[in-house]
Structure 1
Amino acid sequence: MKKKIAIIGGSYLQLPAVLKAKELGYETHCFAWREGSVCEEYADNFYPISIIEKNEILKECQRIGIDGIVSIASDVAVLTVNYVASHMGLVGNPDNYSEITTNKYLMRQCFVKNNVPSPLFTVAENDAEFSIAGFKYPLIVKPTDRSGSRGVEKVLTPTHLVAAVKRAQKEAFSGVAIIEEFVTGCEISVEAISFKGKHFILQITDKVTTGAPFFVELEHHQPTSLPDAVKVRVYEIVLHALDALNIQYGASHSELKITDNGDIKVVEIGARMGGDFIGSNLVELSTGYDYLAGTIKVAMGEFEEPQKRNCNYSGVYFLSKECEHILPYIENATFYPEIIQAEVTDHNLRNIQCSGDRSGYLIYKSAEGKFHVGNTKIDI
């Protein structure tokens, strides 16, 4: 009899998990609203239940008798995954730490308590009631509980702060925003997998964003071009931060900034894979390790230590009005052997304020080095 795995979320972000779980021989049970759920067509069983309905999903999982539960690219789903796992005695992170790993304000408090280097911050529960005494501009304002750059904005002067806070609060599920001192420097993320509290760092990703004011990610590239000495410091900080957040099982995606003078600050950490194809595609392309399969096997209690089989370059470029020069590469992807996947998802190209405004992508793999697209010549 096949083992059964529950997958929380049904958008295109979760589709790789459904397909990989089926490839591994598991019976898939997907929970999500039907609207916008592409996974319904592919999962063995689909349940039109909102991913925030923890108790309903728990009851259904108990009835089904699942053997594991996972979500690969959703902070909101992490809450349900840990809740169900803890109540059914399945592999998962401690439920009492779920909020800390999905709420930027609680995460910041945890970092301060555990001496994890991070930016100065405060919370804005009411747009008229917050204090930034001692802060220096520029600031960055974010919802406390959203991802994909939604509601994120850089603020240069006091006159724009209240509007930015209101925008972030509107995007937040909780209605709460966090205000931080803006940290300049290069952006990276660290992709890792954990089992029984032991962490394995798989790859470091270099990032390119739109910059101010919204900082939407336009490119990701692996492996990082950071010097080895800096990478060692990054590893030490991330391992300490994962312990502080009590992330014991599964994938994690740590976002950091490295300033011009070499300071390293942790921006945030998700107890999940990185989105934007980082976890589902790029790590395996650059290392040869099937990160997606590893994450699913952790949830099923069948984890094996990662073995990196090769070292390639991989990355993704996203299409938008700002980056319309990459459109010919997407439309003529078959002419470029480095491009392994490309798609235009919306022919109406927009200037972007969040990742949902992007209109397509191309994913590459190269043994020679970073694949440059058009006039994009950013060597990071």
Structure 2
Amino acid sequence: MRVAIVGGKLQGVEAAYLAKKAGWEVVLIDKKTWVPAAELCDQFYELDVTSVVEWNLFFKGIDLIIPALENNEALKSLVRTANYASVPLVFDEESYAISSSKISSNELFARSGVPAPIPWPECGFPIIVKPSDASGSEGVIKINSALEYQRLLAGKNLSGWVTEEYLEGPSYSLEVIGFSGCYKVLKITELHMDEGYDCKRVVGSAILSDKLKIEFEQIGLSLARSLKLNGIMDIETILHEGQLKVLEIDARLPSQTPIAVYHSTGINMLEILGEAFVQDKPWQEFDVLEKQGVIYEHIHVVDEYLEVSGEHIMADAGPLHVYQDFFGADEALTSYLPDKTEWVATLIITGEDCQTAWDKRCIVLQEICKAFGIRHYHDRYPVIEDSEGFIRMASGR
């Protein structure tokens, strides 16, 4: 199958990686050449899908279009082009419109009875203020007191922003795929954040009770049915005081977690969904079973420093390459070259279970430190101040 992936940033990396694992021929399109996914494809075209006159002719011989971007003008252009050329497009325009607005998403949670953060002013401090249309942790501000909030209001127009309770606890992710009224939840993963609440590590097996796993899966199926999802949706939750609360949903191919799920279960969610769109019929029922533990982690190496950091470090590093057995890691997506003194990598490390994978991960980092003479290692977490003024590590949002 020959697929066109539109967008070469981090979503494009995810799409190209999984498409190649499916054995597909990959054509990548981006209006810029210096993008992370540029070297992960069979063919690359520098095109702007919103303005190229020849765009409609381009899709001759293309079996499937996979959007890997969040530009509304480009997405609308892809919808028009796919309809004109009668090429399947792995995208649900209506679901995406709801999920890309935190205001609309919160309204959906309320209608569906999905547990979510308590909105201001029903909640107390600390609170989180975030733009409705931003992705992930972008633009998130934590406010600890009424005085801080008043100062923020004095200097910032918060119309179109969401204000809600700050939640502390471990974060989890789950993908749901949908096609023609058939929905399937995949595998729950645990997310580790850096100090800016950007995901730096995905653990391929979430430590949750069976009760909470079932609850999370039911939330995913409920939301997919409410949206009548035709495509893929990512759901992020936080476990706060024993209850899972939904932070956000994104009805588009996410980055990080699908590759982690692939290595943990052997299930390629992009392949399953893509074939459903091409064949115009849902998949056969299948089980999601954990085959091995996975650690999927981003590192930045410069001079004598190695830092574990959020995936933002991968976005501007230029084209990435896939290396096998990278200092002991099963695979790495990396900007590394032998003559470079600064580079980034996404390490993919597997083991019999997650503890084994973690032990192996520690050895991998030791090998990298030894090879590059690294003397300083940083693995930062968000910090919070407790009621007695003590600073401690935490995860939360």
Range class of TM-score, shorter chain:
0.7 to 0.9
User: 1:336-370 CA distances to partner (integer Å, 9 max, x unpaired)?
Assistant: 64543264669679xxxxxxxxx543221111333
Aligned counterpart, 1:190: 174
Q: Does the CA contact (< 8 Å) of 1:183 and 1:259 recur in 2?
A: yes
* TM-aligned CA deviation for residue 135 of structure 1: 3.6
Which one has the bigger strand percentage? 2
Please name the residue that 1:366 is paired with.
351
Choose which of 257, 267, 273 in structure 2 pairs with 1:278. Answer: 257
Distance in 2 between residues matched to 1:266 and 1:152, nearest whole Å: 16
The corresponding residue for 1:242 is: 224
Q: What secondary structure does 2:275 align onto?
A: helix
Out of 66, 70, 79, which is 2:66 matched to?
70
Query: What residue number does 1:258 align with?
Result: 239
Is this contact kept in 2: 1:83–1:95, CA < 8 A?
A: no
SS of residue in 2 equivalent to 1:203: coil
Alignment map for 1:1-380 (pairs within 5 Å)? 4-18=2-16, 20-21=18-19, 28-40=26-38, 42-44=41-43, 46-49=45-48, 53=50, 56=51, 60-61=55-56, 64-65=59-60, 66-72=62-68, 74=70, 82=79, 84-85=81-82, 90=88, 92-121=90-119, 132-161=120-149, 176-210=160-194, 214-249=196-231, 251-260=232-241, 262-275=242-255, 277-279=256-258, 281-301=259-279, 304-305=283-284, 306=286, 308=288, 311-319=291-299, 324=306, 337=328, 339-341=330-332, 343=334, 359-370=344-355, 371-372=358-359, 373-374=361-362
Q: Hey, what's the Cα distance between the residues in 2 that align with 1:161 and 1:72?
A: 36
| Distance across 1 between alignment mates of 2:31 and 2:154 | 28
Tell me the SS of whatever aligns to 1:137.
coil
Mapped to 2, the partners of 1:8 and 1:149 lie a distance apart of 23
2:32, 2:294 → 1: CA distance?
Answer: 33
Contiguous gaps of at least 5 residues in structure 2: 310-323, 363-376, 382-392
CA contact 2:9–2:69 (8 Å) conserved in 1: no
Question: In 2 relative to 1, CA 94–72 (structure 1 residues): closer, same or farther, beyond 3 Å?
Answer: closer
Q: CA deviation at 1:253?
A: 1.2
Q: Give the residue type in structure 1 aligned to 2:188.
A: I
Q: CA deviation at 1:8?
A: 1.9
CA–CA distance in structure 1, aligned partners of residues 36 and 165 of structure 2? 39
Q: 1:225–1:75: structure 2 CA closer, same or farther, 3 Å change rule?
A: farther
* Higher deviation after alignment, 286-295 or 61-70: 61-70
- For 1:301-344, what per-residue CA distance to the aligned partner results, in whole angstroms no more than 9, with x for missing partners? 366344547521112223369x94669xxxxx969645432646
Deviations 1:243-284, CA, capped at 9 Å, x for gaps = 2233222x2211011212x22211111112331x321x2111
CA separation in 2, counterparts of 1:166 and 1:11?
36
Q: 1:100 to 1:218 in 2, by over 3 A?
A: same
Structure 1 residues 227 and 72, CA, compared in 2 at 3 Å: closer, same or farther?
farther
Distance 1:57 1:45, change over 3 A: same
Structure 2 equivalent of residue 354 of structure 1: none
**Deviation (angstroms), 1:290:** 2.0
Instruction: State the distance in 1 between where 2:347 and 2:161 align.
Output: 33
CA separation in 1, counterparts of 2:157 and 2:299?
28
Q: Is 1:31–1:57's contact at 8 Å kept on the other side of the alignment? A: no
Task: Indicate the structure whose relative CO is greater, using CA pairs within 8 Å and at least 6 residues apart.
Answer: 2
TM-score by structure 1 length?
0.73
d(CA) in 2 for partners of 1:341 and 1:196? 36
Moved more, 13-22 or 177-186: 13-22
Give, in whole Å, the separation in 1 of the partners of 2:27 and 2:77: 14
8 Å CA contact 1:190, 1:201 repeated in 2: yes
What's the offset of the Cα at 1:225?
A: 0.9
Q: 1:36 to 1:92 in 2, by over 3 A?
A: same
Structure 1 pair 21–288 and aligned structure 2 pair: CA distance change class (3 A): closer
Distance 1:159 1:111, change over 3 A: same
Letter in 1 for 2:279: G
Q: Which residue is 1:128 aligned to?
A: none
Q: Residue 49 of structure 1 aligns to a residue in which SS? A: coil
Give unpaired runs (5+ residues) of structure 1. Answer: 122-131, 328-332, 350-358
Aligned counterparts of 2:335 and 2:8: Cα–Cα separation in 1: 21
> AA paired with 2:244?
I
SS in 1 for 2:129: strand
Which digits, 9 at most, give the CA deviation of each residue in 1:24-62, with x for residues without a partner? 565655432225335455353524205xx3xx4798246
- Cα gap change, 1:294/1:163 in structure 2, threshold over 3 Å: closer, same or farther? farther
